[in-house]
Structure 1
Amino acid sequence: MDIISRDVYLPLLSCNLLVSDIEKDRFLDLFHRLLNQTAATHTIQAESIVLPLPAFNILAHISQQEPERQQSILSILENTLTNWSKQIKQLLQEELKPSFYSREQSSIRDQVQLWTSRINKLNNLLVQLDSPFVQDVLKNLARNRSPYLASFMDIKIEITRAVTHAERNLSFVSTLSPWIFQINNSNNLNEILSYLPSLMHTLFLIWQHSHYYHQKDKFSQLLEVVSSEIVLRAKQIIANNISSKATNV
C-alpha cells in the first residue's frame, strides 16, 4: 500500500497540471504527514527507529518543472526534520520512562541485553543520520537557510553522548555476569556462599563508580535482580536435594 501511494497516487495527485497548486500542495503535505505518522507508529512497535524519507523523486520533479512551488518543498523538508527530531527525542528519553527498566528484566543477562539493545538503536540512528538521503535533506535546508536546522544539528551530539552513557552502563553491569554464571552453575548452597563476597565487592564498585547505578532507585533495582538470581538458584538446589532424598528413600 505504501508503494502504491508513493509511486502511483502521489505523482498523480501532486504533479497533475489539471489540479490547482493549492490542492496539489495540500495532498503533498498530507501524504508526508501520513508517512511520518506511519513511521512513528512503527517506532513504538519495533526494536529500532527508521527515519522516514520524503519522496525525493517527486520533490525533485516539482522543483524542476514547477519552481514556483519551491516553498511547498521547503515546508515538506522542514516537517520531515521536525518529525525526525520527535522520533529521536523519544528514543533519547526512553531511558527516563519507568517501562524502560521493568520487572521483565529479571536477570543480569536481561540487563546486559537491555543496554546492548539501546546501544544498537542509537548507533543505528547515527548511521541513518550519516546516510546520503538524510544529508541531502540537511543540505537542502542549509541552502535555503531554514531556521529549523540549527537545533537539529545538536541532536547528533546528544545521540553520541547517549551511546557513551549506555556503553558505560553495559560495562558495569557486565562485570556481574561471571559471578552470576558461577552461582547458576553451583551444585550446593556452600558453593553459592563462597561467591557472595566477590559478588558483593563487585556491586560495591559499581555503586561507587557508576553515575547511573549510584542513583538509589537504579541500584535498588539492580540489587533486586541479583537477589532474584541467587534465590532462584538456591531454590533449585534445595528442590533437587529434596527430590534426591525422596528417590533414595
Structure 2
Amino acid sequence: MATTGALLAVVTGLVGACGGDDPAEPEPSSDATPLSADAPFLELGSFVSTEVEGHELVEDSTIQLGFADDTMSVWAGCNTMFGAFTVEGGVLRWSHEPASTMIGCEEDLAVQDEWLRDLFLAGLAATTDGTALDLAVDDVTIAMEPEPQADLETLLGRTWSVVGTISDGTTSRVPPRVRTPRLVVGDDGLARLDTGCNTGRTRVTVDSTSVTFAPPTTTRAACPEPTNSVEQVVLSVVDGRSDYLRYDGSVLVLVKDGAGLVFQIT
C-alpha cells in the first residue's frame, strides 16, 4: 500500500533484536471481534490513526495503514514500508521484513519509522467492529478509521517509479542492480515506459476505481537476470485493467492476474 527525489532506493535491513525475554504474543480483546485475513472490511483498503495511547507520535504525524491484495503498507510521515502480511489468531503482522522507500527525513520521524517496523513485525492484536480497526500490543493501543482513497485523476501528469513487485504471493523490493522501472505519465495519459531493461510507450486511463493500460510497445533487447524477472512482472501489470488497487496520493499498489507493482508517485 511506497516518496522520492531522483531515484528511490529500497531498504530491507533488519533491526537488531534487544536482549531479554521475548515479548509476549499479543492477544485480541475478548470484548471485540478479532480480525481475520479474509475480513471484507479490509477492502476499504486504507486506514488512518485517530488515537494512539502508550506511545507519543511525532507532532502533526499520524499512522496510515493500507491493504492491497496480500500487501500491507505503513506510513507515518517519512518512509513508506510495505510487505506481505498475515492475520493469525487475530494478530496482524508482516510475514517477513518489509521493504521501504528511502528518503531523507528528520531524525524523530526516522526513529518513529523504526518503532513502527518493529511493532508490525512483532504483531499486534487486531479487532474490528466492521469499520474501525483497533490495534494493541503491550501498553500501546492504536485506534484507526477508514480513510478515503485519493482521486485517481491525480495520477496523470506524474512519474510512477516501481519500488516493489508482487509475484507468487511474495512482495519484494526491486533489486539494487536493476534500473528502476518507471512510467512518465502525461496529463493526457500518454506515457513513456521503462521496464528496467527495455523502453517503450503506453497509454494510461483512469476511472473512479481502476487503472487501465493500453498494450505497451517496447524495444526487444534481451535482459539478464534479475532484470528479466522484474520486467516480466512490469509488463504483466502494465497491460489492461487492474484487478485491484490502493492509492494514497503518493503510493500506488496495482494488482493484475496475481502479479503486482508498488509505485512511488512523484
> TM-score, length-normalised on structure 2?
0.22
Decide which structure has greater helix share.
1
**Structure with larger RCO (C-alpha < 8 A, sep 6+):** 2
Decide which structure has greater strand share.
2
**Structure number with bigger Rg:** 1
> TM-score, length-normalised on structure 1?
0.22
